[in-house]
Amino acid sequence: MWHSKRRLLRGLFWVLALCVGAFWQPVVTAQDTAVSSTLTILPGDTWTALAYRYGQDVQAVNPQLNRQRQPTIGREILLPPDSAERQGVLLRTGDGGLLETAVRQNTSPWAIARQNDLPSPYRPLLYQPLFLPGGDAPPKDLPAGFETLELSQTIGEPGVALGWRSEVAETAVISATLDDAPFVVVGDGRFRVGLIGTGAFYGSGEPSLNLQVGDAPLWSQPWRFEDRADWVYQELSYTGAAAEITQDDIDAERARLRKVWSQVTPKPLWTAPFTLPINDYLSITSTFGDRRSVNGGPYNRYHEGVDFSAYGGTPVLAPAAGQVVVAEELKVRGGAVILDHGLGLHSGYYHLSQVLVEPGQKVSPGDVLGAVGTTGLSTGNHLHWDFLVGTTWVDAQAWLAQDMACWIRAGLGLDCAPVSDNPS
């Protein structure tokens, strides 16, 4: 009795809901069209691309933005009211003119000329944008020869590994910078990836993502960076043997290792997501980027890795496949192992009581590299794990969390095996 009453009520509810829905929907739609919507800028959403995409002057409804500069990747802009999106492709080619482009695109040069208000299909194009309507994606204004361009993060975060990946014309020779800092550019054929790290002091801003294909004009778009608000501040004091290590020792060791870190093996040596380099640890006592004051000095340095406190002798494991490039006792880092993972990526394992690999040795995920200790500039048993893109330290924990390893492999057209660390 009670159940059937409840069913009746539920039925009534749905009838009412459907009625309300039927009347409500047109009202919502009318409201939506009256209010301007917003768009988050992605790579290739230049003023030119937006003008073709919406058939309107998108700059006019965003007077607060600098018209001389491209809209910033990661920023929200307003769209004109009633703006309808058009699909199509924007091409920029330096040679061949319309005839060749039309043949490549399987269309008529006169149709393209008409769509782009070009007086003649015979003039060279010299990288001017060419709109070809159709397809199922909005037009993007990408560097010459780029078919796609994706970023690992729409809003850049300081201190982490960042990348772009794209499919390009096979012959493209690409260089890339973030402001003046070069990306490590890897891949050949259709798939290309650029990798970079910023320091943990990089802060917020709008650096330029610059891409150059051969001798085509430089392609450039600002990229929004937002600093983290939750950096940790630590005061350290070194006593005993650790206090004997001087800034000169630190600089000399760093200069030597910089030569190791600047080597780029052109292929990725890993084939699966990275894992933690230690299974049995007590706690993470310091994370990447922790601001540090030493012996009461200013907070003018930061922690370059992740510290795992663990019992002495705990095995330290390879987090992914790679090749051992350093395996020795260093003054500052103590017992040290550095792995080359390919593509300019290196990881380091320091303060080890024992080093159990040899330089040149190839390692597989989970192979034992050494044992936790407190050698070098260290105040207790722990593993210091660092990770570098080129010669810049990046957050190894973020590298794991973002699964950059597989993002990069996918960008190179390679698959990435899933982790099966729990076979039971």
Q: Which residues bind Zn ion (CB under 5 A)?
A: 307, 384
Beta carbon of residue 381, minimum distance to Zn ion (angstroms, whole number): 12
Beta carbon of residue 164, minimum distance to Zn ion (angstroms, whole number): 30
DSSP 61-120: G-TTS-TTSPPPBT-EEE--TTPPP--EEEE--SSSHHHHHHHHHTS-HHHHHHHTT-S-
By C-beta, is 183 or 308 nearer to Zn ion? 308
Beta carbon of residue 226, minimum distance to Zn ion (angstroms, whole number): 26
Beta carbon of residue 382, minimum distance to Zn ion (angstroms, whole number): 7
Judge residue 23's burial from the number of C-beta atoms within 10 Å of its C-beta, 0-12 exposed, 13-18 middle, 19 or more buried: exposed
Beta carbon of residue 232, minimum distance to Zn ion (angstroms, whole number): 13
CB 371 within 8 A of CB 130: no
By C-beta, is 140 or 384 nearer to Zn ion? 384
By C-beta, is 346 or 384 nearer to Zn ion? 384
DSSP state of 319: S
Beta carbon of residue 284, minimum distance to Zn ion (angstroms, whole number): 10
Task: Give the span between the Cα atoms of 283 and 296, in whole angstroms.
Answer: 25
CB 311 within 8 A of CB 381: yes
Q: What are the b/e assignments for 73-98, b being 16+ CB within 10 Å?
A: bbbebbbbeebeeeebbbbbbbeebb
- Name the closest residue to Zn ion (Cβ): 384
Look at residue 186 and give its three-state secondary structure.
strand
Q: Measured in Å, how far apart are the chain's first and last C-alpha atoms? A: 49
392 CA to centre of own chain: 14
Beta carbon of residue 13, minimum distance to Zn ion (angstroms, whole number): 60
- φ, ψ at 155 (rounded to 5°): -110, 120
Q: How many CA atoms lie within 13 A of 388 on its CB side?
A: 22
By C-beta, is 195 or 396 nearer to Zn ion? 396
Task: Give the span between the Cα atoms of 278 and 270, in whole angstroms.
Answer: 18
By C-beta, is 140 or 292 nearer to Zn ion? 292
By C-beta, is 45 or 253 nearer to Zn ion? 253
By C-beta, is 341 or 384 nearer to Zn ion? 384
